[in-house]
Amino acid sequence: MVALTLPCCDIQLVRNTQVRNITAAATGFAPVLATVATLIALTRAAHLGIGIVVLGAAVSLMATRSTQRHSPWRLLLVPVGAVVIATFAVLFHEGHAYGDAFFVVTVAAATAARAFGPAAGRLGRALVLPLIGMLIAPVNPGGHPLRTLAWATLAVFIAECFVLLKQRLWSTPEDEAEPPSTSAARIHVWRGVQSALALTMAFTIGQTVFGDHWAWTVISAYTVGAAARSRGDALLKGVHRTLGALGGTAVATVLAYTVGGHQAVAVTLLITILAVGYYLRQFAYAWWAACMTAALALLYPLVGFASAGTLTLLGTRLLAVVIGALCAILPATLIAPIRTGAVLRKRTAECLRSIRDGEYAPALRRLAALREAAAPLYAVRRVHARRELQWVDALTALEPHLRTLADDADDPAALKQVRRTLGPVADDLRAAAGRSSPLPAA
């Protein structure tokens, strides 16, 4: 194994990185604020409850967090999503088992659909987002069910419009989507199976053990398992979800007593907490989990549920979150598990290809994805060092030079440093793969 020497970042680089992070978080959260402001105005004019505001915010937040580029054609799927929501609501009203089965099959199918290409994956995600949003923030403005469905559809449509507008105003060049390979397609299918098993267990245990609070278990299972890139990532997210729930519930307990029945104050605090969590998520998933837990604890009294921030429900919430996380972790670790090291080797190779081909802007995005995928190994680095982390460290140290090359591809100093680092990384990657790599040393 080769030793990789890393240069230190200067104070100016750290400051520039912080500015970029804050700017990215502000622009990313802008659609959520715009959606909330628009829907609050509409609900006041129509004398409705806060439910559709929260639904729109939830859909906007999840869509904004997605790395996929939205197309204007996606807006045509909103009525289809409304049909999905209506079907779930009708089946769930007829019997929990029917609604549970529909939810599980829909999410699993949307996850496995990525095996058929990026377009199918985007279609599945567009249909699942409002369904998850309804689970987080059930809409009940009163009156006829069709009226409820119409307002929910409008909330989703407005949220999607603002997300699309944000991507048009503050967009970055997107990598060309490639059809998935046979192995990648197989992984997506197995992830669909994993999500189906996780959600089935979460629904069963949640509705059997936690009564009216069963949604906590299902939401926890979905958030831990939906975006897990590997079994290590699922384990790490489960731990962070539990720690975040502990901290978020403690904070929400204090806020719930402080806010009381002041709806305007509660909504303001809820949006503020989500904004803070949106920014802090880049540092650790536990921050996002804590902020989401605190926000949900403030949300449920607003939409008519019993307060989730009281001390009497603290233990119940934590137990539901832990069980939901375990429901996601078990399938991810026992059924066709994806090794963290394999994910890092793939991401490292993609990053090296982009740099080799002079595609420095895509290389920066792939480097960010590589660092995020490496989080499970960083968490255990002191007790179990892995060679893959040396590649991540070496490529991370190149970030300022890659930014320089993204602006000026012929900068001699940056090119020299990049070429000096890529050789050892590419050689070590070949050695770890145990076979000849198509990547030449740059």
Are 251 and 386 in the same domain?
Answer: no
Report, as an integer, the average pLDDT of 219-226.
Answer: 86
pLDDT at 211: 83
pLDDT at 358: 87
Q: How many domains does the chain have?
A: 3
Which residue in 66, 107, 68, 62 sits closest to 84, CA to CA?
107
Mark which of 338, 353, 370 sits at the end of a domain: 338
Residue 205 above 90 pLDDT?
yes
DSSP per residue, 257-304: HHHTT-HHHHHHHHHHHHHHHHHHTTT-HHHHHHHHHHHHHHHHHHTT
Residue type, 382: R
Are 217 and 285 in the same domain?
Answer: yes
Mark which of 125, 141, 168 sits at the end of a domain: 168
Residue identified by tokens 């048009």 is 168
Containing domain of residue 251, as a range? 187-338
Mark which of 275, 309, 338 sits at the end of a domain: 338
Kindly state whether residue 413 falls inside one of the protein's structural domains: yes
Are 292 and 311 in the same domain?
Answer: yes
Kindly state whether residue 439 falls inside one of the protein's structural domains: no
Q: Exposure of 252 by Cβ count < 10 A (0-12 exposed, 13-18 middle, 19+ buried)?
A: buried
Taking each helix axis from N to C end, the angle separating 51-65 and 145-169, rounded to the nearest 10 degrees, works out to 40
Are 31 and 159 in the same domain?
Answer: yes
pLDDT at 412: 87
Kindly state whether residue 442 falls inside one of the protein's structural domains: no
For residue 7, what pLDDT band results from cuts at 50, 70 and 90?
very low
Are 193 and 334 in the same domain?
Answer: yes
Of all residues in the chain, the percent with pLDDT exceeding 90 is 9
Report, as an integer, the average pLDDT of 406-419.
Answer: 85
Are 161 and 240 in the same domain?
Answer: no
Question: Residue 5: helix, strand or coil by DSSP?
Answer: coil
Residue 369 above 80 pLDDT?
yes
Are 28 and 160 in the same domain?
Answer: yes
pLDDT at 4: 47
Question: Residue 335: helix, strand or coil by DSSP?
Answer: coil
As a whole number, the mean pLDDT across the chain is 78
pLDDT at 432: 79
Residue 313 above 70 pLDDT?
no
pLDDT at 441: 38
Are 143 and 205 in the same domain?
Answer: no
Cβ atoms within 10 Å of 87's Cβ, excluding its own:
16
Kindly state whether residue 232 falls inside one of the protein's structural domains: yes
* Residue environment code for 405-418, b if the CB has 16+ CB neighbours within 10 A, otherwise e: beeeeeeeebbebb
pLDDT tens by residue, 266-298: 778 888 888 888 888 877 778 888 887 787 777
Lowest mean pLDDT among 267-271, 323-327, 360-364: 267-271
pLDDT tens by residue, 110-158: 888 888 887 777 778 777 877 777 777 665 545 566 777 777 788 888 8
Are 203 and 310 in the same domain?
Answer: yes
**pTM, 2 dp:** 0.78
Are 334 and 344 in the same domain?
Answer: no
188: CB partners within 8 A, 6+ apart: 111, 112, 113, 114, 115, 121, 180
